[in-house]
């Protein structure tokens, strides 16, 4: 215990121990009301049969018309003379259970094109909400809160967690900070930058004997009388240890490609393999505000998306939990139908959603896209994004009444059947 003594010869004071622990507790991003008893200990193995959802946000507003590329629509090519994609730059979806010649996928999406052919990718067309807002910040709030008419409410995932998964790990965001979708409510879901950086620093003034110092602080805290703050800090210490074990013990036959999204999806795989109780994971890939040079930027961005999801899918298959998974891809809005003068596209309205997984009913969903839809500057929506979330919550995560999570009446109430 000598390393824990100060220059005065006294041991670490309770005040200092609490200060050090709370500093780490802030890193852990757990709310002050979390109790140690609220943390379900991970099983140490994938929880086969526990359904879960992974959400990947394409931050910036993806151009869905050049992602899920329409075929045979004159307005697509006439309004995009420089950036319309021809057959050589796209991938066919004309085989398999849900074979179609209406669309092809961007050429960087070989893994997801194969998933479509295998019946494990759903494409939902014309997704949006009424009176679409083209501001990044406002539209992000609407999507995150699941509310069109109140942009200062709790996030929809926070509402879900409060009702259905009321632990710090019931829902987790990775690499997105304190995302609005998880903000609010009484649960305060966990947000981490990455699992490998998730730790407590016992005292930033000393770097040696880190684990020894942490153990001393935990013992001191355990000896204190029970309080909400003490229990919360101990819960944070317990969680830090569990996540360290998840990182240290993770093994896989899959070699993930490099990139920020892949790094975040590896963390999802680590948590799934460790057996955490998490039902929703949230992360993102940034860079989709393609006002200029879109062709080249889309190649890189959509390749990163495809590689990350394909590698995670392979990993989940190897764990035996692919049939428990839904991976959902969304963006805060689509882009305009016509190209701009900088080889890009500007903020638009409706777009698509992609859902992959062994539990997904593949194929095309939502209203058909016809040439008349591309007459205007923006694509009108035909499916409210909240109906898609509600379908996944009910049919996949077992939520009896999704209106408790999405309380607003929808202008378009059509609900696609996306889950097997």
The dihedral of CA 118, 173, 241, 255: what is its sign? positive
**CA nearest to 143, candidates 197, 192, 180, 91:** 180
Q: Work out the percent of the chain whose per-residue pLDDT is above 70.
A: 81
List, in sequence order, every residue forming a beta bridge with 363; answer none if it has no partner: 122
Q: Would you put residue 135 in left (φ > 0), alpha (ψ -120 to 50) or beta? A: beta
Q: Would you put residue 29 in left (φ > 0), alpha (ψ -120 to 50) or beta? A: left
Q: What is the pLDDT of residues 28-79, one digit of tens each?
A: 344 433 444 455 678 889 999 999 999 999 999 999 999 999 999 999 999 9
* Residue 225, burial from CB neighbour count under 10 angstroms (0-12, 13-18, 19+): exposed
Q: What is the pLDDT of residue 186?
A: 85
Treating both helix axes as pointing N-terminal to C-terminal, what angle do 156-164 and 385-395 enclose, rounded to 10 degrees? 20
E runs forming strands in 60-203: 68-70, 90-93, 100-106, 121-128, 171-174, 190-192
Q: What is the pLDDT of residue 233?
A: 60
CATH 3.40.720.10 fits 43-196+254-404, yes or no: yes
Residue 243 Cα distances to 195, 239, 249, 380, 410, angstroms: 7, 6, 10, 44, 40
List, in sequence order, every residue forming a beta bridge with 328; answer none if it has no partner: 55, 355
**Which letter, b or e, does each residue of 328-338 get, where b requires 16 or more Cβ atoms within 10 Å of its Cβ?**
bbbbbbbbbbb
Tell me the mean pLDDT in the region 7-34. Answer: 42
Q: What is the pLDDT of residue 58?
A: 98
Q: How far apart are CA 85 and CA 303, in angstroms?
A: 16
Structure tokens of 91? 């991938």
Q: For the chain, what is the mean pLDDT?
A: 87
In this structure, are residues 389 and 156 in contact, taking their beta carbons and an 8 Å threshold?
A: yes
Structure tokens of 20? 């050090």
* Residue 10, burial from CB neighbour count under 10 angstroms (0-12, 13-18, 19+): exposed
Q: How far apart are CA 225 and CA 326, in angstroms?
A: 43
Q: How far apart are CA 420 and CA 361, in angstroms?
A: 5
Give the helix ranges, DSSP H, for 5-109: 14-28, 74-78
pTM for this prediction: 0.87
Domain ranges of the chain: 43-196+254-404
Would you place residue 91 in the very low, low, confident or very high pLDDT band (cuts 50, 70, 90)? very high
90-93 vs 100-106, strand pairing mode: antiparallel
Q: What is the pLDDT of residue 35?
A: 42
* pLDDT at 229 exceeding the cut of 70: no
In this structure, are residues 73 and 301 in contact, taking their beta carbons and an 8 Å threshold?
A: no
The dihedral of CA 17, 20, 23, 28: what is its sign? negative
List CB contacts of 248: < 8 A, sequence separation 6 or more.
none
Tell me the mean pLDDT in the region 88-96. Answer: 97
The dihedral of CA 325, 331, 337, 338: what is its sign? negative
Q: What is the pLDDT of residue 187?
A: 84
**CA nearest to 260, candidates 179, 197, 175:** 175
E runs forming strands in 151-263: 171-174, 190-192
Give the helix ranges, DSSP H, for 35-135: 74-78, 110-117
Structure tokens of 339? 């190209």
Q: Is 384 helix (H, G, I), strand (E, B) or coil?
A: strand
Would you place residue 4 in the very low, low, confident or very high pLDDT band (cuts 50, 70, 90)? very low
């Amino acid at each position: 215990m000598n390393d824990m003594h100060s220059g005065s010869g006294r041991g670490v004071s309770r005040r200092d121990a609490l200060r050090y622990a709370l500093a780490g507790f802030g890193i852990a991003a757990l709310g002050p009301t979390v109790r140690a008893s609220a943390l379900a200990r991970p099983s140490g193995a994938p929880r086969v049969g526990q359904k879960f959802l992974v959400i990947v946000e394409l931050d910036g507003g993806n151009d869905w018309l050049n992602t899920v590329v329409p075929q045979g629509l004159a307005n697509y090519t006439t309004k995009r003379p420089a950036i319309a994609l021809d057959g050589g730059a796209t991938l066919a979806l004309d085989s398999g259970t849900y074979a179609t010649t209406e669309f092809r996928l961007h050429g960087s999406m070989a893994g997801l094109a194969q998933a479509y052919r295998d019946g494990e990718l759903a494409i939902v067309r014309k997704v949006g909400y009424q009176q679409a807002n083209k501001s990044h910040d406002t539209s992000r709030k609407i999507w995150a809160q699941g509310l069109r008419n109140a942009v200062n409410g709790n996030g929809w995932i926070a509402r879900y967690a409060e009702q259905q998964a009321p632990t710090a790990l019931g829902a987790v965001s990775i690499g997105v900070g304190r995302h609005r979708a998880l903000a609010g409510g009484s649960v305060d879901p966990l947000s981490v930058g990455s699992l490998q950086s998730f730790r407590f620093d016992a005292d930033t003034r000393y770097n040696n004997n880190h684990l020894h110092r942490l153990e001393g602080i935990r013992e001191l805290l355990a000896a204190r009388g029970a309080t909400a703050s003490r229990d919360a800090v101990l819960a944070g210490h317990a969680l830090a240890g569990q996540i360290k074990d998840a990182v240290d013990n993770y093994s896989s036959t899959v070699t993930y490609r490099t990139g920020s999204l892949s790094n975040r999806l590896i963390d999802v795989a680590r948590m799934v393999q460790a057996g955490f109780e998490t039902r929703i994971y949230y992360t993102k890939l940034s860079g989709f505000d393609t006002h200029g040079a879109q062709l080249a930027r889309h190649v890189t961005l959509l390749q990163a998306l495809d590689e990350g999801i394909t590698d995670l899918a392979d990993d989940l298959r190897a764990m035996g939990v692919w049939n428990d998974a839904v991976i959902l891809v969304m963006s805060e809005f689509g882009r305009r139908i016509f190209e701009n003068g900088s080889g890009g596209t500007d903020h638009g309205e409706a777009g698509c959603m992609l859902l992959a997984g062994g539990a997904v009913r593949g194929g095309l969903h939502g209203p058909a896209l016809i040439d008349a839809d591309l007459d205007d500057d923006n694509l009108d929506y035909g499916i409210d994004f909240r109906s898609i979330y509600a379908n996944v919550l009910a049919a996949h995560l077992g939520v009896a009444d999704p209106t408790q999570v999405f309380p607003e009446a929808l202008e378009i109430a059509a609900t696609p059947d996306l889950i097997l």
